[in-house]
Amino acid sequence: MQINSFHTVVKAKNRIGPHDQEILSLIIGTLLGKGISERYIEGTRFIFKQSIIHKEYLFWLYNFFYIRGYCSNLKPRLYIRKLIIGNEEKVYYGYEFNTYTFRSFDWIHKMFYKKGKKTINKKLINYLTPLALAIWISDDGCWTQYGVRIASNAFTLKEVELLVNMLKINFNINCSIQEIHTKNKYSIYIKKEFISKLRSIILPHLHNSMLYKVGL
């Protein structure tokens, strides 16, 4: 396996790409899901986190970036998160890694973030590819026995409507918007009659550990 080491020997401001569609699609898909973008004076980096049950998937993401020279040879690190739920403390384990910092990724951060909060920009439609959709569903999709639900509660109703419209335009998939138990929070629901089409679009890009997200 040949490792692209170019990005390891240049400063962040000089890491200018070009970045191929695979890299951009994977970043876009993760930012729609659990991915985090951090911007500094030197540029932008991305952080990827998954619970321990998705370790295999997280390491696949890491290898995807590592062999292309986008992150170091330090393996994903284990993290521990503690939450107080009622009177009980819950402990969660997972893995995370981050890319190098790139000045040439600042535009992605700007597209996704406004005043430190994730948003949905109309320009996203140009980058919502089958790979991006596969990664998004890997992060936030859920099989319901009747269809696929995508958690989109981080976004406003108007932004969710934009996403539904993008899915219709880019993939000819009709979705409904469902209000979840939290007020003014919504999910996207891909109905059963569109699951075959969804599978044909994303299966070539879906990691084996995530097949259950589309009922396989």
72 and 62 in contact (C-beta within 8 Å)?
Answer: no
C-alpha triplet 105, 34, 67: angle, nearest 5°: 55
Phi–psi pair at 91, nearest 5 degrees:
-115, 125
Amino acid at 114: K
Please tell me the predicted confidence (pLDDT) of residue 176.
Answer: 96
Please tell me the predicted confidence (pLDDT) of residue 17.
Answer: 56
Between 162 and 1, residue with greater pLDDT: 162
Taken in order of first residue, the domains within the chain and their CATH numbers are 15-207 (3.10.28.10)
16 pLDDT more than 70? no
42 and 103 in contact (C-beta within 8 Å)?
Answer: yes
Question: How far is 108 from 124, CA to CA, in rounded Å?
Answer: 10
Beta bridge partners of 118: 113
- Stretch 50-56: mean pLDDT: 97
19 pLDDT more than 90? no
Question: How far is 172 from 30, CA to CA, in rounded Å?
Answer: 22
Could you report how far apart the first and last alpha carbons of the chain are, in Å? Answer: 31
Beta bridge partners of 175: 190
Question: How far is 193 from 141, CA to CA, in rounded Å?
Answer: 17
Alpha carbons within 13 angstroms on the beta-carbon side of residue 108 total 27
95 pLDDT more than 80? yes
Please tell me the predicted confidence (pLDDT) of residue 146.
Answer: 87
Question: How far is 135 from 61, CA to CA, in rounded Å?
Answer: 10
Please tell me the predicted confidence (pLDDT) of residue 8.
Answer: 52
Please tell me the predicted confidence (pLDDT) of residue 182.
Answer: 83
Question: How far is 71 from 62, CA to CA, in rounded Å?
Answer: 8
Please tell me the predicted confidence (pLDDT) of residue 84.
Answer: 83
- The model's pTM is 0.91
Mean pLDDT, the chain, rounded, equals: 92
Which residue's structure tokens are 């330090």?
A: 74
Amino acid at 57: Y
The pLDDT tens digits for 137-176 are 999 999 998 899 999 999 999 999 999 999 999 999 999 9
